[in-house]
Amino acid sequence: MNNEITGKPIDRVDGRLKITGGAQYAAEFPMKDLAYGVAITATIAKGHIASIDTRAAEKIPGVFGVLSYKNSMSLHFPQGGDPGSGKYAEKDLLPLQSDRIFYDGQMIAVAIADTFEKAEYAASLVAITYEPETAVLEIEPNASNARQPKTGLGNQPMQTKRGDASTALANAPVTIDYTYTTPVYHHNAMEPHATTAQWTGDELLIYDSTQSVYGSHSLMANMLGLEPEKVRLIALYIGGGFGSKGFSWPNTVVAAMASKLVGKPVQLALARQQMFTTAGRRSQTIQNVSLGADRDGKLLSIRHASIVETSFVDEFIEPCGVATTMLYACPNLEVTHKVVNLNRGTPCPMRAPGESVGTYALEAAMDELAVKLQMDPIALRLANYADEDPQKKKPFSSKNLRECYEQGAAAIGWKDRNVQPASMRQGRYLVGYGMATATYPANRSASTARAILFADGRAEIECCTQDIGTGTYTIMTQIAADALSLPITKVKVKLGDSDFPKGANSGGSQVSASVGPAIRAAAIDVVGKLAKLAVQDTGSPLHGLDEKTIQANNSGIYSSAEPQRGESFQALLSRLRLDRIDALATTNVSTRAPEAGQPEAIRNYSFHSWGAQFIRVLVDPDLYTVKIDKAVSVMDIGKVLNQKTATNQIMGGMIFGIGMALMESSVYDPARGRVVTRDLANYLVPVHADMPVFDIRFIDRPDVLISPIGARGIGEIGITGTAAAVANAIYHATGKRVRDLPISLEKLMD
C-alpha cells in the first residue's frame, strides 16, 4: 500500500460540521409538531409519593399533559446485563412505574408542552407531597453493613487472591499501610443526556445521546415490548459521555413514553442539575493499601481492600483493585471489594472505572513505599516489573513499559530531581516531581461492517457503532481509505444508526480494536470481489491472472507481480455496468471471552495497554495553591491510528486526572442526601487557566496479536495514574501527604 494514511495526524473529518453547527445532536433534529418535555424530580431521598396534582399545570395553554406513574405505559423488565447488549442503569427502578422514591433527584414525572418554556413552567406547577422514610445516606457510618460480592459488571471477579498476602505482609522487612479515599465524581459531558422520540403507528424513531447505539436500540425494543425491527435509534454525534451514556437512563425510554401519551414527537433533555442525580456518577471509595517488600524493594505482599457504594435499585461496583491484580510481579496478593447500599442515584462506569481511582491508591502507596525504602520511585517499579500477567499466568501480547518510564523521565527532567521533599524551589514556589504507572485493558469484541464501492470511485462504510467525540469517524476513514487505496476525500464512514450492521459499544476503550478490523476486512473483501470480476473479464488488463496476486492501489486494482497491469475501480465497474460492489464482514474476536472458541493468539495472551505519567508542580508555600507546571505522558497503546486524535485523547484523560486530584468532588447534604454541588459553578473542573505544558508521546509499536491493525484502545488509559502522579508531586514539593482527594489548599495547610 502506497502512502499509508493510517497513523497520520489528519484533521477530523467531522471537524468542519462541528465548528459550523452542521453536526446534529440528539436534541437538535427538527420535527413537525415537536413537543418538549421537562423532567420533574423527587425532593426526598426515600419514601413514597402521597399525591401528585397536575391540574394547574394542565390548564396552561399549549401544555399537552403531565406524564407520571399514574398514566404511563407499562414497561417490560429489561433482560441481559452487558452494556454491549443494552443495560438499563437501574434495573429495579423502571421509570414512572410506581410511587416509590429511592433517592433525591429521581425522575418522577414529565411536563410536556409545545414550547420548552411552557413545559418548564408547567413542571414548576405540579404539586407533589411525599411520605418520607428514613434513608441511608453516607458510606462511612454504614461500612459495617458492607457486603462482599463475588463478581461485578461483566462477571468481573471482585475478590482475588494468590499466595498468602497476610503472612507475607507480617514477615516483610519493610511495610506501609494507608487508607486513600476518593469522593463521588460526575461525568458532566458538554451535551446533556437528551432524547427525541417519535411514533409512527407502532414504529418508533429515537434520536439519543448514547455510547451504545446497538445496545440502546435493543434495550428500548425490549423495555417497550416491540420487535427490534420496529425501533430505529440514531446517534450521529455525541457531545461526550465518559461512561455515563454507556448505560441507558430514564430520559431515553421516558421520551418514548411521553411521545406515546401526547401523540407527538417529544424532545427530553436533562438540565445540568438533573445530570447530577439521574444520569450516573462515579462511586465514592475508601481504599486501604498495604505493601510489604524486602530491603531491595522487591514486593512480597500486596493487599488492596476497597469499600464502595451503590444504590438500592441496582448494583454497580467500582472495581478499584482490578489493576492491582496484574500491574506488578508479586507472589502474594489479596484484592477485595465490599459494597454499601445508599439512597443515591446508581453509580456507573466513568472513564477507566476502577483503574482511575484504583491506580491513584496503588501508585500513591508505591510512592510512599519508595520514600520509606529511600529508593527512586521508578527503580521501585522496575524492580517489580511484570513480564507476564501475574494473575492469569499469561504473557502480555505486547509491553514496552520500560521505554515509557525512560522517555518520560527524560522529558520531565527526572534526573534533576532532589529526592528530599520540600527541597526544590523556582523563585518563591516549591517544586515537586511525581510519577505513576498507567494501565488499562486492551479490549476487543465482535463487530460487523459493510463496505460499499460505487461506480464513481467513492466508497461508503456502514457500522452501528458511534463516535462519542473521540475521533472514530476520522480513524475509521483512514483505515478504510488504506484498505481500498482511496484518498480520504473519497471515503465516507457512516455510524450511529441501528439500521447499520452491529458494532461495538463505546465502553472499555474497544471501538478502535473492534470496529477497525471489521471495516478493514469488509474493504478487503470488496477488493477481492473486484479482483475476481477482473480476472474473469476478457476486457480487463488483469484477465487470466491469479486473483490472489491482485491488490488495491491508487484507486484501482493492480497485479503485484506485474504492476503495469491494472485498472481503476471506475473503469472496471463502468465496463461491467455495475453501480456498486459491497461486502459485509464480521470479526468475532473477543479479548473478554478468550476461551470461547477464540483464536489461539487471543486465548494465550493477556492484553493491556501501558504508560508512564510524570507531573511537575509549583506550590505556593504561603497560600498552598497548586499549579501543574508540566505534564508528560508516554503511552504504549499499540499502533497509533491518528497522531492528532490520539494526543487529544491522552491530553483529555490527563486533564480528567488533574481535576480528579485537585478540584472535582460531588458533595452531598448529609441530612437530606441531596447533591449540593450540582452545577458547574460549584462542581469545579479544570479550565484553560489550569492547564500545564503537555508533552505526550507514543511508543507506536503495533500489537500484532490483538488485530491486523495493531491498535489498542486509548480513550481511558490517559486518566490512569495521573491523579497519583499529581499527589506524589505535591508530596515531593511540600513534604505533606494528602490521601483524601481532592487535594485542596486547606488540606495542605493542616
111 phi and psi, to 5 degrees?
Answer: -90, 135
Q: DSSP letters of 422-455?
A: T--EETTEEEEEEEEEEEEE-----EEEEEEEET
Cα distance between residue 286 and residue 179, in whole Å: 7
Q: Which of 355, 547, 716, 746 is catalytic?
A: 716
Cβ-contact 127, 52 below 8 angstroms? yes
H or E stretch at 111? strand 107-113
In one-letter notation, the amino acid at residue 573 is: L
Ordered alpha helix ranges (H), 706-744? 722-734
Cα distance between residue 125 and residue 56, in whole Å: 6
Cβ-contact 56, 111 below 8 angstroms? no
DSSP three-state, residue 526: helix
DSSP three-state, residue 309: strand
Cα distance between residue 530 and residue 540, in whole Å: 11
**CB neighbours of residue 370 within 10 Å:** 22
The H helix count followed by the E strand count for the chain is 17, 29
Q: Is the peptide bond before 742 cis (omega within 30 degrees of 0)?
A: yes
Integer Rg of the chain from CA: 27
CA-wise closest residue to 401 among 657, 628, 720, 160:
720
**Number of residues that make up the chain:** 750
β-strand partners of 389: 394
Active site residue 133: no
Cα distance between residue 358 and residue 724, in whole Å: 10
Cα distance between residue 581 and residue 622, in whole Å: 70
Most distant pair of Cα atoms in the chain: their distance = 86
Cβ-contact 446, 510 below 8 angstroms? no
In one-letter notation, the amino acid at residue 301 is: S
368 phi and psi, to 5 degrees?
Answer: -65, -35
Nine-digit cell string for 115: 414550547
Phi-psi region of 735 (alpha: psi -120 to 50; beta: other; left: phi over 0): left
39 phi and psi, to 5 degrees?
Answer: -75, 145
Cα distance between residue 349 and residue 441, in whole Å: 14
DSSP three-state, residue 660: helix
Cα distance between residue 502 and residue 360, in whole Å: 36
DSSP three-state, residue 191: coil
Cα dihedral 102, 105, 107, 109, rounded to 10, equals: 110
Cα distance between residue 107 and residue 313, in whole Å: 14
Which residues neighbour 393 within 8 Å (Cβ) at sequence distance 6 or greater? none
Cβ-contact 172, 294 below 8 angstroms? yes
Cα distance between residue 432 and residue 626, in whole Å: 10
Nine-digit cell string for 215: 445496545
Cβ-contact 112, 29 below 8 angstroms? no
Q: Which residues form the catalytic set?
A: 716
